[in-house]
Amino acid sequence: LVSVLSSAIIVYRLPWTWKCSKLLMKFIHAGLNTIAMILAIVSMVAVFEYHNARNIPNMYSLHSWIGLTAVVFYSLQLFLGFAVFLLPFAPVPLRAALMPIHVYSGLTIFATVIATALMGITEKLIFSLKNPAYSASPPEATFVNCLGLLLVIFGALILWMASRSHWKRPPEENAKVLRPIGGTPEGAEAESTMTDGSNADKSDLRINSEAARKQNLKLDEAGQRSTM
């Protein structure tokens, strides 16, 4: 869940994907999230079956509470993402209103998954290391503690990439997906109107200047006649 979900988060943030169509990137983003959801469900089933086979109580630790909460909210996030952003039925204002919530909730779920993994490996060490105990810092404890530090660094790097503006997909690439077939992207029509208006203004100015010049010539001719 950590690795696949992180890939789904930064799939829009990779510069070499900015030239791909927005629709293709949407399908890749949705596909990675679907794979992560399937793996999360398989792991949940495996945990419950393992606990039941060993007569271990279920859902008693903070690790299990936060983990189940993350999976539940992740399933809601995936469902709403499909319904609002992938299927072509939701209106554009609704998508624009829900996009910040979608991004924030996705990053929050990812941070929750990292925290769940850290609590899980610590819990496993405490229960598994008996001789020597976890408090004696055997090599296994050092190895897993280093793994936890790497998880924290990895999660911080993903969150940093997802929060930096210069890693965002350029607006001109986003505008391509909103362009109708045979039409122009958003803003192009307004720009064309502004250009036409500017050209019209320039044409009017040119006509007025020409009229003023002719009027001056007539006045000069009249002045010359009067002088002669």
From first to last of its 228 residues, the chain has per-residue pLDDT tens of: 899 999 999 998 888 888 888 889 999 999 999 999 999 999 999 999 999 999 999 999 999 999 999 999 999 999 999 999 998 889 999 999 999 999 999 999 999 999 999 999 999 999 999 889 999 999 999 999 999 999 999 999 999 999 888 888 887 544 444 444 444 444 443 344 444 444 444 445 455 555 555 555 444 444 433 333
Whole-model pTM: value is 0.72
Return the pLDDT at 208. 55
C-beta of residue 187 within 8 angstroms of C-beta of residue 197: no
d(CA 36, CA 159): 18
The token duo for 205 is: 């100015």
Cα 93 from Cα 207, distance rounded (Å): 45
Q: What is the reported pLDDT for 69?
A: 96
| CA within 13 Å, CB half, 148 | 17
What size, in residues, is the chain?
228
What local confidence, expressed as pLDDT, does residue 222 receive?
41
CA pair distance 90, 93, nearest whole angstrom: 8
Give the residue extent of every domain in the chain.
1-167
SS3 133: strand
Residue 145 burial class via C-beta count within 10 angstroms: exposed 0-12, middle 13-18, buried 19 and up: middle
User: Domain 1-167 has what CATH class?
Assistant: mainly alpha
Instruction: Give the 3-state secondary structure percentages of the chain, helix then strand then coil, rounded to 5.
Output: 80, 0, 20
Distance (Å, rounded) from C-alpha 95 to C-alpha 103?
Answer: 12
Go through 85-104 and write b for each residue having 16 or more CB atoms within 10 A of its CB, e for each that does not.
beeeeeeeeeeeebeeeeee
